[in-house]
Structure 1
Amino acid sequence: MSFQTALSGLTAASRDLTVTGHNIANANTAGFKGGRTQFAEVYAASSLGLAATQTGSGVRVSGIQQQFGQGSIDFTNNALDLSISGEGFFTFNANGATVYSRAGSLSPDRNGMVVNTQGHKLQVYPPQANGTFDAGRLTDLQLPVGDAPPQATTNVTLGLNLPAASGTAPVNAFDPADASSYSHTTSLTVYDSLGAAHTASFYFVPTDTAGQWDVHSAVDGTSTGAPTTMTFDANGALSAPVGGTVTLPALAQNNGASDLEITLDLSDATQFGDNFNVTALTQDGFATGRLTGIEVTSGGVVQARYTNGQARALGQVALATFANPQGLQALGDTVWAETYVSGPALRGAGESGSFGSVQSGSLELSNVDLTAELVHMITAQRNFQANAQMISTTDQITQTVLNLR
């Protein structure tokens, strides 16, 4: 029995050394979680009920406990390198099977799919038309290819202050080429349905009625039609047009684009003092855009940035937690699979509930403490040597018995 007891100690110590060696070998593996050997004593079944004379039969390895503590964060220059500060796992599609990992070294494949080093596709919640994300559905994250389509200008917001009108109109009839035929002007760039840029200009001409101005508009020097009359009350607030908005006549384009139809918002216009001042000048159109980069927020929202200044949400990184992470099945390549013991995946997004935040341009390193592992290796080696010495001692005792005369 002494041989079997010592042999069980040798086996357990050898397993312990194997786990320690595995931890040390992966000390530089991103997303790796170290393991810890757990031992349990063994008693012979026949000795049950004989507590006073019960003798142990050795030791066994009862399990390898995974250590899911936070690893340190290493910052990189790749926006698609992701790490999680706090709880949660990234979700991946591994050829139809769902797996989980803390390793976020990602890059696009030939089809634009964002994958890890094993080719598993990162899972995200798809965007919805209202600007939110469909948390009830997972999809592969795919980077856009080609240019972003343009958007025609439909609304122009013009906030300004006009000096108090004296009720004296210019002598000359309005002519954009004659600066004496208007008092003030401003302009901005607008876009047609094909993304071509045009210059929209607005000219302000006082009328013979105090507190009243005519607004003439033109696109690329072509008038959009009759002027719009602005009227201010005694407090300098706009009283007409009612609501402050006016739809300019449609302007045909000669490049095949749709007619340019613009609604002018003058609701923020005032007539105070004697200084002309433009306080707001915006429009909602933009040109064709080329992809310039990818950004990921701390909440896991993946956005594509374009040269036209626009951003498009591609999805929100899907995170998962488990009631019992120790029950996850290690598949290798720093990925795990859900099991009955782990419980079902609880899904969510970064910075919500118990989920940690997502950091772009960084990787979570292995959580292995190399110094502690080296010390543990020495301890495991001593255990192995002691059990080997026990076998040697038992052998000597056996030889002594056999040599009795």
Structure 2
Amino acid sequence: MAGFNTAITGLKAATTNLDVTGNNIANSSTIGFKASRTEFGDIYATAVVGAGSSNVAGSGVTVTDIAQNFQAGTTEFTNNNLDLAINGSGFFQLDDGQGGVTYTRAGAFELNKDGFVVSKSGKYLQGYGLDSQGNRLPIGNLAVDQKESPPQATNNIGLSFNINDAADPTLLSTPYDKDVPSSFTYSTTVRTFDSLGNENTVKYNIVEQRPVRDVYTVSAAVPTNLTISGVNVSFDAAGTPDPVALDTLKSTDKRIDTTTLAYNAAEGTISFETYAKYSSYGDMLINDAGGADITPEPTERDANENYSYTLAVPAADTTLTIGGVPIEIATSPTVPTLNDIADQIRARETDIKDRNPNVESVTVVDEAGSFRLDIRFKADYGNIGSEFSVSETGGTVLTAIPERTYEGDNSYRGQYQMFAYLNGTELLDIGKSVDPGESGFAIKPQDTLSEVGSVMLGFDPTTGFLNSVNGTTFSRGATAPQLTIKGADPANTETLINLDLSNSTQFASASIVKASSQDGYTKGDLIGVSFAETGEMVAAFSNGQKQNLGVVAFATFENQSGLQPAGDTEWGATLTSGNAVLNPPGTGLNGSLRSAALEQSNVDLSTELVRLIEAQRNFQANSKTLETLNTVTQAILQI
């Protein structure tokens, strides 16, 4: 009877189903395990010739396939960065070192004694190496081959600060001294590293320019020749300087206001002034006709504009108009004295200042028998020029006393000298041009050498934004010209540091550092390895640096159901699955990588237990078929 064979096929199929279900249950906690499902097909015995009726009893059942379920399991997060999970499609590719390649979703990796990333079975995780430029290399064994991070000298410093505009530069003590905090406006320090990894500091002292001009006086008999800042200037017997030489001097040494270069015959002195914003910027280099050095006598003069006039008693009634304010001076019935006129002017000082906001003071000075009227203007207004006048009746403008008349100069506003010191002591070269007349000086800026000393920073006095660095101006919003710091690396004198002061300001608020950065670091040791979502294996070092060591490769298949189980939750490629296609995570159809996470088994225990009951019932039912056929056979034998 064929029924016996049919029942036996049912028993075999049910047994296989029990085996598959039992294997699923046994691996419900296996990392990366994929559940299987038993698939069945019926058996019919047919013949090409003689197959008459379609009413043919079947011959039983057969197992057509044990199909893998590659649905992702749940992700469990861990504290180990070498635990990897795939969020999406793909497999890790493993190499046993002997040519055997398998694929897995179980990402419990570790480092072996040689620094390679291996699975629990000792197989090497595959990925792309990286060259020094970060370009991907061919697929190979991923390894942590960098155990330390070498030191890097500081090459770039970014510093952004605000200097309090409300600070009064006239309160600064003079002369400037790096060890006297009251002689500079603001100070801040940035740490740096030399090429051996030693930590250093660069201290910046910033000094706001006071409203003064430097006056240099040289004793000399005329005619004479003087070499000032490398330019030969000749003076004739009347003390008049060569005008061509003056133009050359002005274009050579931007600190000198050559229009004030003058000879005082009574004192036998030649004097000239520097612009206020360059006050104390550097020493004047002066030589006499014989080439000997002359040390000038520097003094300071306020940058305020000053006019002085000699006052006398008028012969008739007159109106003295000072800055548009008329003062009536009557000579009858009594001729006024100079004291009377002085009192009248003092009484109208407030009116003069109200009408002329740029006036700081109106002073009448007694000079032994005559009076002098001094008009002093506020320094912030710079050179007033013809905007202000003193006149008498009929509009006759009084002539100011030449030797007591000084033009205003407000170019000091928003101007700061910045000094830099290595470890707070050694003055550094941050780009200060070599002073005119010194060895190495050149007229063309691009040929000018630099030396230790300060550079000028300029802020727009109306907006407070930095607008010039070391004489180079730039527009608001643009990147500030970079300064080059020399000598800040004691281990390597060739190291140059770029200093970027962009976004620095001069607002009326507390002086603070708004941003500070530098790119140097000391030597570091490996402290851990992590992975990015896009597959980069990143080594972290104790000096805070990170380095990409490689990129994990994901493998995909045209038919992943055709993969052949190889044990240890690994699969091998077959002709049915097709060859692996390798790409980094997050590209194409590949999923992303999760570090410190493991994909758990995708076995659903409740479903498997139900399948277990079904398989048991199927086995019992097929056993009943055998029992029934046996009973029928016994009945036949008893006939």
1:189 maps to which of 181, 188, 191: 191
Unmatched tracts of structure 2, length 5 or more: 210-275, 278-411, 429-451, 473-479
Contact 1:191 1:285 in 2 (8 A): yes
Q: Partner letter of residue 189 of structure 1?
A: R
User: Counterparts in 2 of 1:149-298, with a 5 A limit?
Assistant: 149-164=150-165, 170-207=172-209, 208-209=276-277, 210=412, 211-220=414-423, 221-224=425-428, 225-234=452-461, 235-236=463-464, 237-241=466-470, 242=472, 243-251=480-488, 253=490, 256-257=491-492, 259-273=494-508, 275-298=510-533
| Structure 1 length-normalised TM | 0.91
Q: Partner letter of residue 100 of structure 2?
A: A
Q: Partner letter of residue 240 of structure 1?
A: V
User: Counterparts in 2 of 1:4-403, with a 5 A limit?
Assistant: 4-46=5-47, 49-95=51-97, 96-127=99-130, 129=132, 131=134, 134=136, 137-164=138-165, 170-207=172-209, 208-209=276-277, 210=412, 211-220=414-423, 221-224=425-428, 225-234=452-461, 235-236=463-464, 237-241=466-470, 242=472, 243-251=480-488, 253=490, 256-257=491-492, 259-273=494-508, 275-403=510-638
Q: CA deviation at 1:322?
A: 1.9
Q: Within 1, Cα distance between the matches of 2:25 and 2:510?
A: 74
**Does the C-alpha gap of structure 1 residues 179 and 121 become closer, same or farther in structure 2, counting only changes over 3 Å?**
same
Q: Partner letter of residue 44 of structure 2?
A: Y
Q: Within 2, Cα distance between the matches of 1:250 and 1:222?
A: 9
**Most deviating of 291-300 and 186-195:** 291-300
Deviations 1:195-248 (A, max 9, x none): 110011111112342122111111112111221222233443322333421112
Aligned length: 400
Contact 1:238 1:270 in 2 (8 A): no
| Structure 2 length-normalised TM | 0.59
Q: Within 2, Cα distance between the matches of 1:118 and 1:271?
A: 65
**Does the C-alpha gap of structure 1 residues 50 and 173 become closer, same or farther in structure 2, counting only changes over 3 Å?**
farther
Larger radius of gyration, structure 1 or 2? 2
SS in 1 for 2:7: helix
Q: Within 1, Cα distance between the matches of 2:489 and 2:40?
A: 83
Q: Within 2, Cα distance between the matches of 1:160 and 1:258?
A: 28
Q: Within 1, Cα distance between the matches of 2:132 and 2:18?
A: 55
Deviations 1:161-185 (A, max 9, x none): 2344877695533332122332211
Contact 1:167 1:212 in 2 (8 A): no
Q: CA deviation at 1:65?
A: 0.3
Root mean square deviation, CA, Å: 2.4
The percent identity for this pair of structures is 38
Deviations 1:302-342 (A, max 9, x none): 22222212121222222222221110011010001122211
Q: CA deviation at 1:126?
A: 2.7
Q: CA deviation at 1:276?
A: 2.2
**Most deviating of 179-188 and 241-250:** 241-250
**Most deviating of 327-336 and 292-301:** 292-301
Q: Partner letter of residue 248 of structure 1?
A: I
**Does the C-alpha gap of structure 1 residues 249 and 168 become closer, same or farther in structure 2, counting only changes over 3 Å?**
farther
**Does the C-alpha gap of structure 1 residues 75 and 275 become closer, same or farther in structure 2, counting only changes over 3 Å?**
closer
Q: Within 1, Cα distance between the matches of 2:604 and 2:586?
A: 28
Q: Within 2, Cα distance between the matches of 1:51 and 1:84?
A: 55
Q: Within 2, Cα distance between the matches of 1:122 and 1:98?
A: 10
